Amino acid sequence: MRAFLRAACSIAVALTIGGCGSSTAQPPATVTGWPFPVVSRQLYQADAPVAVMTLADASGGTQHGSIRGIIHGWPFPHADPGGDFGEGLFTYRIDFVVTDRAADGARMPLRASGLRTVYFHRSRTTGSIARLDTFAGGEPIITGTVELWFDFNPAASTVRMTATIRQTGAKAFVWNNERVIPPNLGEQTLQSEGYYSAALGGYVFNAAK
């Protein structure tokens, strides 16, 4: 799947939903050697889940939902003086309300609007994608609004999603003895694809597919 947070570094979408170091997998930068190559930068597993979207149903269909995700690398262009790639430092959360449903009368959402928050985890304790409760434990550093468009297949087992994010606020934070001020990245539109996971009770988005 295409990263939920893919972007022009970036938002990576990083969906994003965001991040520069983004959810789009990059070719490994390595130095060959024996018996194992030496990795010269932090990497992540390309097909590892990076976000989960859960939907709340009511008698008339889905009313609202949320997305919890991991941002690989920095959520904005940043050259860390210590060479830190930012892996494990950032997560995000999107809470949305459904504003329109499919014309065929299906219970699945067609459009939604909501809020997105990016969190900074100083101790790199971002947790597992299966532990959604850990994604709000960091320090909120970026806020914004989100407009979502969904395209579910007939069985609702897969979904294509487009997200337009507009940053509305940012808060400075300290990392490696440096005060970092997130820049305003303006409006970003990201696309991603996911599949339903009964184990996680929602739609899973991978770093790359």
Mean pLDDT of all residues in 126-135: 64
Task: Report yes or no: 176 and 124 within 8 Å, Cβ to Cβ.
Answer: no
Confidence band of 50 (pLDDT split at 50, 70, 90): confident
β pairing state of 173-175 and 158-170? unpaired
Q: Which residues contact 19 (CB under 8 A, 6 or more apart)?
A: 5, 10, 11, 12, 13, 71, 72, 73, 74, 75, 76, 86, 90
User: pLDDT exceeding 90 applies to what percent of the chain?
Assistant: 35
User: Is the bond preceding 35 in cis, omega lying within 30 degrees of 0?
Assistant: yes
Is 144 exposed, middle or buried, given 0-12, 13-18 or 19+ CB atoms closer than 10 A?
Answer: buried
Q: Would you say residue 122 has pLDDT above 60?
A: yes
Kindly report which listed range (51-55, 80-84, 88-92, 112-116) carries the lowest average pLDDT score: 80-84
Reported pTM: 0.76
Query: In the structure, what pLDDT confidence band is assigned to residue 14 with cuts at 50, 70 and 90?
Result: very low
24: left (phi over 0), alpha (psi -120 to 50) or beta: beta
Domain positions in the chain: 46-206
Mean pLDDT, rounded, for 125-146? 77
Give CA separation, 111 vs 59, 106, 136, 145, 180, in Å: 18, 13, 24, 14, 34
